[in-house]
Amino acid sequence: MKILTKYFLREYLKFYIICLTGVTAILLVAEFFDKIDEFSSHRTPLLTVFEYLVLQVPKSLMWVSPAASLLSILFTVGMASKWKEIVTIKAASCSRKKMFAPFLVLGVLVSFLVLIFGETIVPMATSRAAFIKNIKIMNKSPRITYKEGSLWIKGLDMSLIRINDFVEDRDKILKISIFNFSPSFSLVKRIEADEAEWVNGKWELRNVTVFDFISKVSMKHKTLVFTALEEPKIFRDEMKKPEEMSFLELHAYYKRLENAGFRNLRYIVALYQKLAYPFVNFVMVLFGLALALNAGAGGGIRAAGLGIVVIIGYWMLFSISLSLGQTGTVPPYISPWLSPVVFAILGYFMFRRIKE
């Protein structure tokens, strides 16, 4: 029995690697043809294109891993059914549940590995890929600098601007400092505001204090129009996206916004999705194992067909649940877990119904 279990595990790992690398390669080819107009119009060197595509690999591997987990378990059990190996197990009075139970342990292990991978390598690679796309391919100059927990940007009037955070869904800046310098680079004016909001095509500063170092006076204003800062698009283009942050980075960013009184449901959903998604690997192993042993999936084509149907169904439910969380219909910290929990429950009851 142990020999057969090891044999099936080897087959599973073989199919897993094939599915993982195969689908990832397809995604990279699709990414290349999707960006080919940008590559050609900006005369991007082949080495830069290659670097960009390589940096897409970690993110693709993570997103493909649940599908690879499902397809590989269906292929493994399907081929075993085709070659009558499952019948042999039954004839030997062996428990199929016990024989395939190590696959569940393997599913948990893969989930934890994907979680670690998604918190370390994926954010770094995705952030670097975004940098290469904007700077090396699109030939854009970086306009925002991250330093000491703040964002620094040069104003249109050559002032130096520091902001604490940008609230994307409100086009609002939290805590802004503006430094104006003389030609000899001595500080002549400093403006401090609690917040700034994009209103009618311009930035409106609120609760403003202006320090004039030449006349040595300070003035307070309830509101003040500021036109030397570019429109909010600059922050959307250059600030880190949720997929470029680890769980801890995104959590810290969201907490700063929440403490300032802003609650962005999209960020909460993205935050808990980082925890929920890796464990879809275990769910897919459980569901696929129960489905294959109950249905007796035979052969690669039938197994692949079953896998594609399940994957489509899962992604439909997953997308709907995320949308419900982002609109507040479902609590945003629950919505990323809805589809894994539903499929885990279905898989559990199907696994219990496996006939010995």
Chain segment 207-262, per-residue pLDDT in tens = 999 999 998 899 999 999 999 999 998 888 888 888 999 999 999 888 888 887 88
pLDDT at residue 148 tops 80 = no
What pLDDT is stored for residue 93 in this prediction?
A: 54
pLDDT band at 290 (very low <50, low <70, confident <90, very high): confident
The residue-averaged pLDDT of 267-278 equals: 94
* Residues contacting residue 22 through CB under 8 Å, at least 6 positions apart: none
**Joined tokens for residue 210:** 């202006």
pLDDT band at 356 (very low <50, low <70, confident <90, very high): low
The residue-averaged pLDDT of 3-29 equals: 90
Closest CA to 38 of 119, 112, 132: 132
Question: Architecture of domain 144-229 in CATH?
Answer: Roll (2.30)
pLDDT band at 82 (very low <50, low <70, confident <90, very high): low
SS3 325: helix
Per-residue pLDDT tens over the stretch 171-221? 999 999 999 998 888 999 999 999 999 998 899 999 999 999 998 899 999
The overall average pLDDT reported for the chain is 88
The residue-averaged pLDDT of 79-93 equals: 60
Domain extents in the chain? 2-139+261-352, 144-229
Closest CA to 239 of 149, 178, 166, 175: 166
**Joined tokens for residue 39:** 């590559």
Closest CA to 289 of 90, 76, 94: 76
What pLDDT is stored for residue 6 in this prediction?
A: 84
The residue-averaged pLDDT of 154-168 equals: 90
Per-residue pLDDT tens over the stretch 304-347? 677 888 899 999 999 999 999 999 999 999 999 999 999 999 99
Residue 297 or residue 230, greater confidence: 230
SS3 165: strand
Q: Hey, how many other C-beta atoms are within 10 angstroms of the C-beta on 139?
A: 10
pLDDT band at 95 (very low <50, low <70, confident <90, very high): low
**Side-chain half-sphere exposure of 11, counting CA atoms within 13 A:** 17
State residue 330 phi and psi, 5-degree precision: -120, 140
The residue-averaged pLDDT of 61-73 equals: 93
Per-residue pLDDT tens over the stretch 176-188? 999 999 888 899 9
The residue-averaged pLDDT of 266-285 equals: 94
pTM higher than 0.75 = yes
Query: Percentage of the chain surpassing pLDDT 90?
Result: 59
The β-bridge relationship of strands 217-226 and 187-199 is unpaired
pLDDT at residue 49 tops 80 = yes
**Joined tokens for residue 244:** 């470029």
The residue-averaged pLDDT of 36-58 equals: 94
Residue 146 or residue 33, greater confidence: 33
Residue 97 or residue 249, greater confidence: 249
What pLDDT is stored for residue 89 in this prediction?
A: 61
Asked if 267 and 249 touch (Cβ cutoff 8 Å), the reply is no
Cα–Cα–Cα angle for 226, 229, 230, rounded to 5 degrees: 130
What pLDDT is stored for residue 78 in this prediction?
A: 76
Asked if 241 and 130 touch (Cβ cutoff 8 Å), the reply is yes
* CA–CA gap between residue 199 and residue 206 (Å, rounded): 12
* Structure letter (DSSP) for residue 243: G
What pLDDT is stored for residue 169 in this prediction?
A: 82
The residue-averaged pLDDT of 71-78 equals: 86
| Amino acid letter, 124 | M
- H or E element in which residue 152 lies: strand 150-154
